[in-house]
Amino acid sequence: MKKSVVAYRKLPAAALRILEAQYDVTCADADTQRDAFLAALANAHGTIGNKLKLNAEFLDAAPKLEVVSTVSAGYDDFDVADLTRRGIVLCNTPDEVTETTADLMFALILATARRIAELDASIRRGEWQSSSGPAQFGVDVHHKTLGIIGLGRIGAAVARRAAHGFGMNVLYANRSRNVAAEEAFGAKWCPLPTLLAEADFVCVLVPLSAATEKLIGAAELRLMKSSAILVNCARGQVVDEAALTDALREGRILGAGLDVFEREPLPADSPLCALPNVVLVPHIGSATAQTREAMARRAAQNLADALEGRLTATCVNPSAVDARSLLHTPGN
């Protein structure tokens, strides 16, 4: 008998074909088809999707669940310790988002530095009446200092663009040294306070965890130059949004480019929306057709591999396999 899989978000046809070739697949959106989703969980051996906090309620409804495959690089929607305790493997898609998210990070750096959104809006209001002057001036990006908080895959891709494309000096703060980036891009490790004080552009790319929640707060923002720009493509909760709003409003930093927010979608009455020195985009780090399809295909293959006992580097918690064995040992 085939194992059962639940797709709780719409998948591209190519990803569905990978799963339908081997498993009984039920497509039931967790938001709009909740009853069908919960019913399908009862017999599910695997799930695939994104943007759903797969909490204890859902896991309790899925006694046969072996694998959870998320169509995302981040996995803060999941209680990894609880999944591991239950013997459920979690897989993600870290590699597919790297270059696309790095592109967006640099787009936000450039758009904020050169005030693209602000000046675009000015033109649309009919305010362009003469040659550009100080009122339209931005700041240079090339040959400035870029500080990267979290030099993983995406951070390294941003560092490559900065060093090789814009002649920038690269500083980074990380839990461990990234020797490859140091050798390839001349990146220099430094403590976070030093990075904040010296960087012209501060890029936030750490995953969300208890250790990184509100990592950048009022005290950290006070360390930054008044001419510095903050760019966040990590998670909104890594930056204290109220403190950032105050710093932007008061001119204590020059600007910000934000792809992520504490509350998503960002409410229209958020004070950030009223500030001219911030560029806002709706969590689009991986949002290209090519990347989203590649992520879905990878997530489908991850699910199939894990259900067949093949754990790859995309497995977040390989120790879940040992926990599952213990759970099914006679006497347990």
CA distance 76 to 190: 27
Q: pLDDT tens digit string along 229-254?
A: 999 999 999 999 999 999 999 999 99
Q: What percent of the chain has a predicted confidence (pLDDT) above 70?
A: 98
Q: Where does the pLDDT of residue 330 fall: very low under 50, low under 70, confident under 90, or very high at 90 and above? A: very low
- In this predicted structure, the answer to whether residue 326 has a pLDDT above a threshold of 70 is no
Domains and CATH numbers, the chain: 4-95+290-327 (3.40.50.720), 98-280 (3.40.50.720)
Q: Is 283 a catalytic residue?
A: yes
Mean pLDDT of the chain: 96
Cα(316)–Cα(313) distance, integer angstroms = 8
pLDDT of residue 322: 85
The predicted model gives 265-290 an average pLDDT of 98
pTM of the entire predicted model: 0.93
Which residue out of 127, 264, 308, 310 is catalytically annotated?
264
SS3 (DSSP) at 173: strand
Cα–Cα dist 22/258, whole Å: 41
Q: Which of 235, 292, 297, 298 is catalytic?
A: 235
- Main-chain phi, psi angles of 299, to 5 degrees: -65, -40
DSSP 315: B
| pLDDT tens-place string over residues 49-83 | 999 999 999 999 999 999 999 999 999 999 999 99
327 strand-pairing partners: none
d(Cα 286, Cα 295) in Å, to the nearest integer?
Answer: 9
- 183 classed as catalytic: no
Tell me the C-alpha distance between 36 and 13, whole Å: 21
Distances in Å between the Cα of 39 and the Cα atoms of 35, 48, 87, 90, 153 are 6, 15, 21, 21, 38
Residue-wise pLDDT for 24-35, tens only, equals 999 999 999 999
> Could you confirm whether 96 is annotated as catalytic?
no
Share of the chain above pLDDT 90, in %: 96
Residue 306 makes CB contacts below 8 A (sequence gap 6+) with 46, 66, 67, 69, 89, 91, 315
Point out the catalytic residue in the list 85, 153, 252, 283. 283
> pLDDT tens digit string along 119-168?
999 999 999 999 999 999 999 999 999 999 999 999 999 999 999 999 99
Task: Reply yes or no on whether the pLDDT at 329 is more than 70.
Answer: no
DSSP 277-311: TEEE--S-TT-SHHHHHHHHHHHHHHHHHHHTT--
| Helices and strands, counts by H and E, the chain | 14, 12
| Residue 89: closest CA among 324, 325, 271, 259 | 324
| Distance between CA atoms of residues 149 and 297, nearest Å | 29
**H/E run at residue 27:** strand 24-27
